Amino acid sequence: MAECEEEVLVQRVVKDITNALKRNPSIDEIGVIPCPEARYNRSPIVLVENKLGVESWCVKFLLPYVHNKLLLYRQRKHWLDREALVDITCTVLLLNPDFTTAWNVRKELVQSGVLNPEKDLYLGQLALTKFPKSPETWIHRRWVLQQVLGQSSAGDRRRRQQQRDEADAERSQQLSEHLARTLHQEMKVCSDAACRYPSNYNAWSHRIWVLQHMARGNIKVFYDELSSMRLWVSMHVSDHSGFHYRQFLLKELVSELSQSTASSTSSPQHRSSSVSSSSPVPFHNHANGELSGGEGGEDEEERQLSFITVLQLFHQEMELISDLIQSFPGHETLWSHRRHVFFLWHQWRTDQQLSNDGGDSTLLSDREAGLHKGGAQGCAAQVGEGVNGQCPSEAMEVEGASLPDPRDSKRLKRGVHLPAPPSLPSEYTFISSVLDSCCPSEQRRFALSYRKWLDTVIVQQP
C-alpha cells in the first residue's frame, strides 16, 4: 500500500510545483519549510509573496522517488515523455541542483528545441536562492549562456547574408538589447548569490566568465562594474572572492587601456558579438578610445589620456584600500588586495618602461614626477628607478596634485598635475602609520607581513 500512496503523493507534489511555477512566473525564491509532520489534506507546496516553499516532511519521499525515476529513464528502463521530463527535472533540481544527470537531460531538451534556454536560466536562478554555491548549476548556466550567445551570433551571420532586409537594423538592435538584458540579469543573479553566501567563489568566477564572454573589450561595462563594486566591497571587507573580482576588473581595464596606448586603432568590428554599450555616454571620453582613435594627430593625446586614466585607477584603488584598512582593522583580505594591486601597478610600470625605452620621454618623465611625490615624503627605501635631472619644483607641483578632469583634453599638456600613483615609499609610509597607531595585534601582523613582502618581492626584483 505504501508504495502506491507514495506514488500518488509524489505525482501530486510534482504537479503542484509545476503548476505553481506556471501560474506565477514572478516566483523569485524557493525554500524548505521545517515541518516534521504532514498536515492532512494540505499540499506541502506553499506559495507566499512570490516565494515557493516545500514542507520538509515530503522531501524525504519526493527526492529519492524522482531521482530513481530519472535514473531509470537514463538507463532506458522506463519511458518518460518530454513534458514529464521537464516537470520531473524541475522538481529534482529545485531540491538538489547538483544532480548532474538532471541538468544533462535538460541540455538535451534545450538542444532538441523543446525547452527554451531562458527557462533554464530561470530555473537555475531559483535553485541558487536555496543553494547559492551549487557548482553544477553554475556550470549548466554557462552552457545555456553559450547556447544563447551561439544563437545570437548565428543571427549575426544570417543578417550579413541578407543585407537588403529592411527590418535588419531593427533586429540587430533588438539582438544587442537582448544581450545587454541577459548580461544585466546575470550580474544580478551573481550578486544575489554572493550576498547569500559569503566568499561565494562559484558566483564570482561565473561573473568573471560572463564578462569575458559577453562584454569582452567593452570598457564601459568594466567601468560600471568597478564603480558598482566599490560599495559592495566596502560592506564585505572579508570577502576574498569579491575582492578577487575587483582585481580582475582592474587588471582588464589596465590592460585594455594600455592596449589602446599601444595601438589606438582597435577595430570595433571584432567586438560585434559582445554587448555594445547601449547608451553612448562613457564614463570618460577616452573610455571608448576606438571611436576617435586612428586620426593621426589625436594619437598622442589619446595615449596621454589612457595613461592618466591608468594612473587614476591605481590612485583611487589605493585610496580605497587605505581607507578600508584604517576603518576596518584586522581583515587579511584587505591586505592581500593591497598586495595584489601594488603588484599589478609594479608590473604595469615595468612593462611601460620596457615599451617606452628610448621612445616617448614625455610619459616617462611624467611618471617620474609622480614617483617623486613618494620620494619627497621621505623613506630610506630606494625606488628601483633612476631618478635624475628632475627639478624639485616639478615634484612640488605634483605634491599638491588635484585630479585633472580628463574630459578636458585641451588642458592635457606636459607638466599638468597627475594623480599620485602608488609608490614604494608611500607604501612604507602607510605601513608605519598603521604600526604607529594602536591597532589590534592582527592588523600589526598583516602590516608586518606586507612590509616583508615588499622587501622580498618588489625591492629585490630589479
Interface ranges with another protein (CB under 8 A): 29, 31-36, 48-49, 51, 53, 56, 59-60, 63, 95-96, 129-130, 195-196, 198, 234-238, 327-328, 331
Nearer to another protein, 30 or 226 (CB): 30
Rg (CA), the chain: 28
Nearer to another protein, 128 or 253 (CB): 128
Nearer to another protein, 236 or 246 (CB): 236
What is the CB neighbour count within 10 angstroms for residue 73?
18
Nearest distance from C-beta of residue 403 to another protein, angstroms = 22
Nearest distance from C-beta of residue 58 to another protein, angstroms = 11
Nearest distance from C-beta of residue 56 to another protein, angstroms = 7
The Cα 100–Cα 81 span in angstroms is: 20
Nearest distance from C-beta of residue 447 to another protein, angstroms = 18
Nearest distance from C-beta of residue 431 to another protein, angstroms = 21
Nearer to another protein, 333 or 426 (CB): 333
Nearest distance from C-beta of residue 453 to another protein, angstroms = 24
C-alpha distances out from residue 111 to 114, 133, 150, Å: 8, 26, 12
Nearer to another protein, 34 or 400 (CB): 34
Burial 242-254 (b: 16+ CB within 10 A, else e): bbbbbbbbbebbb
Contact partners, residue 57, CB within 8 Å, separation at least 6: 35, 36, 37, 38, 44
Nearest distance from C-beta of residue 147 to another protein, angstroms = 30
Using CA atoms of 382, 458, 199, 182 in order, give the dihedral in degrees to the nearest 10.
Answer: 100
What residues form DSSP beta bridges with 30? 52
In terms of Cα–Cα distance, which of 250, 116, 120, 138 is closest to 202?
138
In terms of Cα–Cα distance, which of 63, 212, 54, 32 is closest to 130?
32
The Cα 174–Cα 180 span in angstroms is: 10
The Cα 332–Cα 341 span in angstroms is: 14
The Cα 207–Cα 187 span in angstroms is: 7
Nearer to another protein, 282 or 330 (CB): 330
Nearer to another protein, 150 or 440 (CB): 440
Nearest distance from C-beta of residue 337 to another protein, angstroms = 15
What residues form DSSP beta bridges with 29? 51
3 state SS of 217: coil
Nearer to another protein, 191 or 261 (CB): 191
